Structure 1
Amino acid sequence: MSEPLSVSERDGHCSLVLTRPARGNSLSADLVEAMHEALDSAERSGVRLLSIEGDGRNFCTGFDLAGLEATADGELLARFVRIEELLARIWAAPFTTLAVAQGRTFGAGADLFAACSVRLALPDASFSFPGAAFGLVLGTRRLARRIGEDAALSVVTSGAVIDAERAARLGLATGIVQPDELDAVKQRARRDALRLDTHTIAALRQAAGDNPIELDRDLAALVRSAARPGLVQRIIAYRAKAQDKNRTDRAAAPSTFQEGAVR
C-alpha cells in the first residue's frame, strides 16, 4: 500500500503532498496521522514554510467516508477530533503555511485550505463546506475570520459550491495562480517566510487572536455537534441525498457532468 502523504524538506521549506488521488485525497485516519507526524517534525526542525498540495485532479475532497456503515458514532467522533486538532495546529503554526488548491476542495479539505495563511487557488478549484447538512460544526470560526461572519454563515448554511474567482473575492483564497506560475509564487512565499523567525510568527498569531482559548472553543463546538447521537446515520442520509442529486445532474447534462466522490 502506498503512503498517503509525501513529505520533503529542504532549505527551510517542508512540502506535504496528499497522495490519495484515487480517493480525491480524502482525509483517511492514516493520512491525518501522517500529517500530524509531519507537523511534529516541522516544528522540531524549525521550518519557515510548510506547503500543502494534493496529487491528481483534486486538492482534498474532505473526510474519507470509506467503511462508514461499519463505523460507530464514537469512533467517527474521535476521527473528527483528530482533524480539528490538525486544523488548529496548522492555523496556529509558528511558520508560514501555504495551500495550493485545484479541482474539488470540499468539506474538511476546504477547512484545511482555509486554515493556511497563504491560500492559492488554481483556476479550476472549487470549494464547499457541507458539514452543517449533517449537523457538524467544523472550522466555522476560522472561516469567519477569513471571509467575515455573515459570508461564512451563508457559505456554511447553503452548502454552495464556490468557484476560484468568488473564493478570491471573498478572501477564502489569497490569490488565483496559473499552473505555470506556481513555482515562482512558491519561491516568493519561501523568501517572504524566511524574513521572520518562528518566535515572531507565533507572537504575531497570538496578537491577532489565535490564543489557546479560541482554539479550545473550536474543538468544543465540534465535539458538541458530533456527539449528538446518530452522527453516522446523519452522514449516510446526507450522502444518499447528494448521490441522488449527482445522478439527476448527470442525467440532465450527460455530456458535461463529471461524477466524483461525495464527501
Structure 2
Amino acid sequence: MSDPLIIERNDDAWVFILNRPEKMNALSPALVQALTAGIQNAHAQAVPLLIFKGNGKNFCAGFDFSDLDTASEGDLLQRVVQIELMLDLLATSPAMTVALCHGRNFGAGADIIACCKRRVAEPGTTFRFPGIKFGLILGTRRFQNLVGTQTALDILSSTRTFDASEALNIGFMQELQAQEHWSTVIEAARNNNAVLSDVTRQNLYKVLYSNAESDQNLAALVRSAAAPGLKDRIRAYLKPN
C-alpha cells in the first residue's frame, strides 16, 4: 500500500504531497496523522517553507467517509477533532505555507488551503464547503478572515460550489497558475523568504496569524460535531437525491 503522504525534503523547503489519488486525496485517519506529524517535524527542524499539493485529479476531497458504516459516533468526533488540530497547527505555522491546488476540492480539503499563507489554484479548480449540511462548523473563522463575513456567509450557508476565478476575486486565491508553472510559484516563495531573516519573518507571522482563536475554533467544532446523530446527518448528506 502506498504511503498516504509523500514529503520531499530540501534544506529550505518541504513539499507535502497528498497521495491517495484513488480516493481524491480524502482525509483518512492515516493521512491526517501523517500530515500532523510531518508539519510538527518541519517545525522542529525550522524548515522555512512548506508547500502542499495533491497527486491525481485534485488536491483534496475533504473528510473520508469510506468507513462510515463501521465508525462509531465517538470515532467520527475524534477524527474531526484531529483534523481541526492539524488545521490549527498549519494555520499558526512559523513557516511560509503555500497551497497549490487543482481539481475539485471539498470541506476540510479546502480548509487546508485556507490555512496556508499563499494560495494558488490552477484555472478551472473548484471549491465547496458542504460540512454545514451535516452540522459541522469547521474552519469557518479562517475562511471568514480571508473573504469577509458576508461572502463567507453566502458561500458557507448555501454550500454552493465556486470556481477559481471567483476564488481569486474574493481573496480565497491569490493567483491562478497552470500546474506546469507551479515551479515559478515555489521559486518566488523561496525568494520572498530570503527578504527577511528567519527570526523577523517568524515574529511577523506571530502578529499576523495569531492562535488566539484556536480554542474558539475547536470549541465550535466540538459543539457542532457532538450534537446527537452526526452519523445519521452524514448519511443523509451522502444519500443520492
What TM-score bracket applies, with the shorter chain setting the length? over 0.9
User: Which position in structure 1 is the counterpart of 2:219?
Assistant: 220
| Distance across 2 between alignment mates of 1:194 and 1:234 | 48
| Distance across 1 between alignment mates of 2:231 and 2:111 | 20
Q: Offset of 1:158 from its aligned partner?
A: 0.6
Residue type at the aligned position of 1:222: L
* 1:123–1:74 distance in 2 versus 1, CA, 3 Å: same
CA deviation digits over 1:63-89, x for unaligned, max 9?
000110221111101100110011111
| Distance across 2 between alignment mates of 1:84 and 1:200 | 28
User: Which position in structure 2 is the counterpart of 1:101?
Assistant: 101
Contact 1:12 1:46 in 2 (8 A): no
Contact 2:60 2:109 in 1 (8 A): yes
For the pair 1:49 / 2:49, whether they are aligned, the reply is yes
* 1:202–1:218 distance in 2 versus 1, CA, 3 Å: farther
CA deviation digits over 1:150-205, x for unaligned, max 9?
11111111111111100000111111012222111111112212333444334323
* Identity, % of aligned positions: 40
For the pair 1:145 / 2:145, whether they are aligned, the reply is yes
* 1:197–1:83 distance in 2 versus 1, CA, 3 Å: farther
Contact 2:92 2:209 in 1 (8 A): no
For the pair 1:68 / 2:68, whether they are aligned, the reply is yes
Q: Secondary structure at the match of 2:27?
A: coil
Q: Secondary structure at the match of 2:173?
A: coil
For the pair 1:237 / 2:236, whether they are aligned, the reply is yes
User: Which position in structure 1 is the counterpart of 2:87?
Assistant: 87
| Distance across 2 between alignment mates of 1:96 and 1:34 | 19
Q: Secondary structure at the match of 2:43?
A: helix
For the pair 1:158 / 2:173, whether they are aligned, the reply is no
Contact 1:94 1:199 in 2 (8 A): no
Residue type at the aligned position of 1:104: R
* 1:137–1:197 distance in 2 versus 1, CA, 3 Å: farther
Q: Offset of 1:207 from its aligned partner?
A: 2.0
Matched length: 241
Unpaired runs of 5+ in structure 1? 245-263
Contact 2:131 2:138 in 1 (8 A): yes
Q: Secondary structure at the match of 2:105?
A: strand
Equivalent runs, 1:112-261 vs 2, <5 Å: 112-208=112-208, 210-211=210-211, 213-240=212-239, 243-244=240-241
* 1:133–1:58 distance in 2 versus 1, CA, 3 Å: same
Unpaired runs of 5+ in structure 2? none
| Distance across 1 between alignment mates of 2:229 and 2:201 | 41
Contact 1:57 1:102 in 2 (8 A): yes
| Distance across 1 between alignment mates of 2:117 and 2:201 | 11
CA deviation digits over 1:118-143, x for unaligned, max 9?
00000121000011011000000000
